[in-house]
Structure 1
Amino acid sequence: MGVVQSDDRSSPRVSLLVPVYNVERYLRECLESARTQTLEEIEIICVNDGSTDGSRAILEEFAAADSRFRVIDKENSGYGASMNRGLEVARGEFVGILESDDFLDPDALEMLYRSARDTDAEVAKADFYLHWSQPEPRDERFGWVGPEMAGMVDPRDCLEVFFLKPSIWSALYRRSFLEQNGIRFLETPGASYQDSAFNFKVWACARQAVLVDRAFLHYRQDNESSSVNAPGKVFCVCDEYEEMLRYVEEREFDAGFFLPVLAKMRYDSYLWNFDRLTPALREEFAQRMAEDFRREDEAGVVDFSLFEPWKIPERQAVIDDPSAFCRRRASGGRDSKLTILARCWRAGGPSLVAHVLKSRLSRR
């Protein structure tokens, strides 16, 4: 393990962390977008997680040409460990993250830095683009931030930030804020869901966040590395939620506020993970979903007012019969209205049935 380059000990405005593992196909475009940022007072910390392709040579090339690049070599131990290593050595006033297959617009860091400094924010968060290279380069704005959300927010008054896609790489974080709140990544193997707990910790601790109604980062869709065939990664998302619960307890946060938020987040993340799995892996994960959902019900931490109405009977279907849920999901079948209402009754009684019926009527 070693660090290459940069003898300049002055503190940069932004430390940009770039985790790298066998991504030579896209790495030059990524690093070039960092090198050409209009905000020049930055350091670009590239953490090489034991790459076995040509990624290391590309990192050396950029580090030799620009002293702002720092290369850290480590044995392959996963995304979380790489990010924590970068956080350990970062010297910037703010910290940003750039995945090694994505790239930034030239003014990305300058605009986010200015937004954070002008508002004295702990976090500056922007929208991003979904990017496809084939058959022709194409960008589609995701819509994480829009005009209705833009500006200063306290996450406790804007719960939507907890429920949207983590996308931790379209933001800047004040480094002192991360350090004071012990915000780090869970160091599980590989690169699966480690952004989830980090994202939750950020929003749970932040009191001043500025949301920017612009997109700067191009989030590549052509290189979507999937864990659907990897049995060892099936339950990584569950590890992240255990870490969130640990953090809430350790920090003595308001459980009455945060546990219902986590129950909603867990449902969305678990269902997204379920749909990415191959059929052979879904049954076992569905059983785990049912177990965790039942545990939340028994603890009385679920607030169905936070759920979109159609998700309530789906959640109950998992609890009622995980195997049947898998079969129905695979076939694309639909439950009858009576079955849906019966599940709502089991989930929350007559008041929940009334709530779901009212929401369905209002959508007509």
Structure 2
Amino acid sequence: MKHNPLVTLVASVYNGERYLKECLDSVLGQDYHNIEVIMVDDGSPDGSANILDEYAGKDNRLKVIHKANSGVCDSRNVGIEASTGDYIGIIDQDDVLSHDYVSYFVGLLQDNDAEIAYTPTADKFFSDTKEDSEDTKRADKAEVITGQQAATDMLYHKIIIAPWNKLVSRDIIMKKNVRFQLQFFNGEGFAYSIECFQHAKRVVRGQRKVYHYRVGDPNSGASKFRLHSVESTIASQIYIRDILINKTPEIMKAWAFSDWHSHCDAFNMIVGCGVEKKYPKHYKEIGDYCHKYASRAFSAPISLQQKLRGVLFKINPYMAARIINHFRIRKFQKENDS
């Protein structure tokens, strides 16, 4: 393993001018300097392109690719194809990295001879990020697991299912031809991460929250409902099932839970956005599925809170969705006020 490997960070950019500078400042301000940053401008009609070109003119580590709009999956793939780093990470245009994000992950990889480094969760923020304290940094523990175990943990939703918050060996991505699947509008990051994990022998898990994920107001969801997002969430689970390499009873049980969980997420979206009457067929079919297979949560190695989710959907899916959405909004408001 190289002592000072080149790390590539890839982001798709579309109408990102509001938070793009904050993201770029955090990326280019890393205490680990051997980085390559590839920002793919996906035909943004706003001022994103100008911001990217301005920053690229100041730092030659930043490479900007301008292209016609084709969606986030294709844009990320374009960035991956243009990358030259020993490790590749995916970030979002409106998120923020801790100043030691890259050095932390590189340290995990090198100290544990691993192919992928990740942390299970991130700092979710609305306006201000929260950096780890010195005590948190000292208490951090690294654990090496197999790629199969990491994939299983993600299927049980013990790991953030997004593609960010992970650093993956270039060899896995290129030699195994792991890419974002263009047919998915939602669930594409989940599928990408599972595929990466499936091809890894050694995966190292840290605990620090070095990725800061910007969240929007959940109350605004009604104006953003997209039926194809719901359908993609469910369809991506079938793709994930099909790409599983070692279909052991353990991982198939985990997949069954994930499939049920994704249906519940889709149902929560329908109810939370108040579109039950607009899409009665989807409302009934997805709700029935959530109710029928709620028992998948009962025997799963998940938290008591997740098991309670299963109980609620077994009793009444609509009631479950209303309760879950209520507490989700309440949690957001509490965190935003703190």
TM > 0.5: yes
In the alignment, does 2:90 pair up with 1:97? yes
Cα deviation, residue 229, structure 1: 1.9
Which whole-Å CA distance do the structure 2 matches of 1:294 and 1:263 have between them? 14
> Paired residue for 1:80, among 54, 63, 73?
73
Which residue of 1 is the match for residue 27 of structure 2? Answer: 34
Cα deviation, residue 183, structure 1: 2.0
User: For residues 13 and 220 of structure 1, do their structure 2 counterparts lie closer, same or farther at Cα, with a shift above 3 Å needed?
Assistant: same
> Paired residue for 2:308, among 307, 310, 335?
310
Cα deviation, residue 204, structure 1: 2.9
Report the 3-state secondary structure (helix = DSSP H, G, I; strand = E; otherwise coil) of the residue aligned with 2:299: helix
Which residue of 2 is the match for residue 180 of structure 1? Answer: 175
> Paired residue for 1:139, among 101, 120, 130?
130
In the alignment, does 2:243 pair up with 1:247? yes
1:83-141 Cα deviation digits (max 9, x unpaired) = 111111111000012211011111110111121122121111124211121xxx35388
Kindly indicate whether the alpha-carbon contact (under 8 Å) linking 2:116 and 2:203 is maintained by their aligned counterparts in 1.
yes
Aligned length: 303
User: For residues 69 and 239 of structure 1, do their structure 2 counterparts lie closer, same or farther at Cα, with a shift above 3 Å needed?
Assistant: same
Which residue of 1 is the match for residue 231 of structure 2? Answer: 235
- Give the TM-score, by structure 1 length: 0.73
1:162-221 Cα deviation digits (max 9, x unpaired) = 32221421111111012233322111365x332111122233333311111212111112
Kindly indicate whether the alpha-carbon contact (under 8 Å) linking 1:96 and 1:172 is maintained by their aligned counterparts in 2.
yes
User: For residues 128 and 312 of structure 1, do their structure 2 counterparts lie closer, same or farther at Cα, with a shift above 3 Å needed?
Assistant: closer
Identity %: 25
RMSD: 3.3
Report the 3-state secondary structure (helix = DSSP H, G, I; strand = E; otherwise coil) of the residue aligned with 1:215: coil
Q: Which amino acid aligns with 1:37?
A: Q
Q: More displaced, 217-226 or 93-102?
A: 217-226
Q: Which amino acid aligns with 1:153?
A: I
> Paired residue for 2:198, among 201, 204, 210?
204
1:23-77 Cα deviation digits (max 9, x unpaired) = 1000001011111111111110001111110001001111111111111122222
Which residue of 1 is the match for residue 18 of structure 2? Answer: 25
In the alignment, does 2:15 pair up with 1:47? no
Q: More displaced, 168-177 or 19-28?
A: 168-177
Report the 3-state secondary structure (helix = DSSP H, G, I; strand = E; otherwise coil) of the residue aligned with 1:207: coil
Cα deviation, residue 296, structure 1: 8.0
User: For residues 293 and 130 of structure 1, do their structure 2 counterparts lie closer, same or farther at Cα, with a shift above 3 Å needed?
Assistant: closer
Equivalent residues in 2 for 1:280-295, closer than 5 Å: 280-281=275-276, 283-289=280-286
Which whole-Å CA distance do the structure 2 matches of 1:255 and 1:290 have between them? 28
Which residue of 2 is the match for residue 271 of structure 1? Answer: 264
> Paired residue for 2:210, among 191, 216, 238?
216
Which whole-Å CA distance do the structure 2 matches of 1:273 and 1:331 have between them? 13
User: For residues 197 and 146 of structure 1, do their structure 2 counterparts lie closer, same or farther at Cα, with a shift above 3 Å needed?
Assistant: farther
| Structure 1 residue runs without a partner (length 5+) | 1-10, 318-323, 334-364
Report the 3-state secondary structure (helix = DSSP H, G, I; strand = E; otherwise coil) of the residue aligned with 1:57: helix
Kindly indicate whether the alpha-carbon contact (under 8 Å) linking 2:146 and 2:200 is maintained by their aligned counterparts in 1.
yes
Which residue of 2 is the match for residue 3 of structure 1? Answer: none
User: For residues 19 and 332 of structure 1, do their structure 2 counterparts lie closer, same or farther at Cα, with a shift above 3 Å needed?
Assistant: closer
User: For residues 244 and 149 of structure 1, do their structure 2 counterparts lie closer, same or farther at Cα, with a shift above 3 Å needed?
Assistant: farther
Which whole-Å CA distance do the structure 1 matches of 2:82 and 2:238 have between them? 27
User: For residues 81 and 238 of structure 1, do their structure 2 counterparts lie closer, same or farther at Cα, with a shift above 3 Å needed?
Assistant: same
> Paired residue for 1:195, among 163, 186, 189?
189
Report the 3-state secondary structure (helix = DSSP H, G, I; strand = E; otherwise coil) of the residue aligned with 2:179: coil
Which whole-Å CA distance do the structure 1 matches of 2:28 and 2:202 have between them? 29
- Give the TM-score, by structure 2 length: 0.78
> Paired residue for 1:166, among 152, 156, 161?
161
Which residue of 1 is the match for residue 55 of structure 2? Answer: 62
Kindly indicate whether the alpha-carbon contact (under 8 Å) linking 1:161 and 1:203 is maintained by their aligned counterparts in 2.
no
> Paired residue for 1:112, among 102, 105, 109?
105
| Structure 2 residue runs without a partner (length 5+) | 325-338
Cα deviation, residue 12, structure 1: 6.1
Q: More displaced, 282-291 or 164-173?
A: 282-291
